[in-house]
Structure 1
């Protein structure tokens, strides 16, 4: 291995991880894809390679598509709703919380991406998120430009139907969650309900291991009652963290992490609850991020 190889790859590693994670929704899987891309880069004959970035992005995207095809079958057999595994950070100043952690990495956005086929997801991300030209996307996917345009158009329609419509500053998002936590600790259902939008949804991921709603909850009163019940136990506490670069919550029951909660807001009230309770996912996130303590 030459140092030049390593330095060239390292210069693109952040983007490759960003692509792989948005494709797969699991940090460990994304890291595996990036490692596979490195092995192919290191062992390849690069004679005639005009753009290192294009070569690496193409390899990473195709590896991610193949991996997602395999994962789709697993996720279809999953008990209940499968939610992506967010990247948990305790420190807002770590590199991952900077530019690559944008609104297009929110749990609401990642949740919508799960409705797309692997190739649709890749085409949409390459064009709409990473801003590659259609000719470049076609080259990456081995498709015609016309086919890529059709895939992106179809994916965009699906995403626009459900994508979060509000851009909220991180400070405002954090403030809403802090006030919501204070209301939750009070145990007063009306106080909690005041922070929940009428037009909301709650998606829970228990993985069949712990109780979770088997449907998307759209009743804000039901969710307010749920949070009030948790607080009345006297053993519940919340910790504010970053989840995919956005403020979110860890909920503990006593000393045990009970859930990871990605809460979307319009700047005034909470519009979306994406709650991961599957203990297997909680353990994986703790070991991979080192953030959950």
Structure 2
């Protein structure tokens, strides 16, 4: 196996390991690239097990990356006096609270105005740029039907909202939506939407 073949074979595995360890898509990609660059600069003929070598290397690089981030964070915090530290914490907490309120409010409107299938198609199309062919496979609907549902959802959301109660009880879909935004992978959000669709279908049949 030559070097190009090894990179093509092991890149997905190394990327998965790095992403799980550092939690950042961009950082994971950089770490994997750096791992391969260092591997290519070594005498690969002396490496008996390339797969094991690369896994160990990317794991060590992830640990070094996380330790560097921790040192940087500690240095920043050490430079703050107690008063500034309290203000910094309050600011971070306020931002997190404010962000969650905004997400919850937006999803509340979507929950109130859209049917589960409309919601799933709208969010995946509008926010994650899924094309209609992908939506067709996810929800087992024809592309034209998905296009119509997306248009209908946009129409409903463009109507005057008025006073919509902010009483969303489905915290899981909010958590999954935020997770999808953070990691760029809406798998859990899709599962939750499908669960809602099935619940609504079973309810209508009973």
Greater fraction of residues in strand: 1
Greater fraction of residues in helix: 2
Larger Rg: 2
Alignment TM-score > 0.5, same fold: no
Please classify the TM superposition score into its range, dividing by the shorter chain length. Answer: 0.3 to 0.5
TM-score by length of 2: 0.45
Greater RCO, 1 or 2 (C-alpha within 8 Å, sep 6+): 1
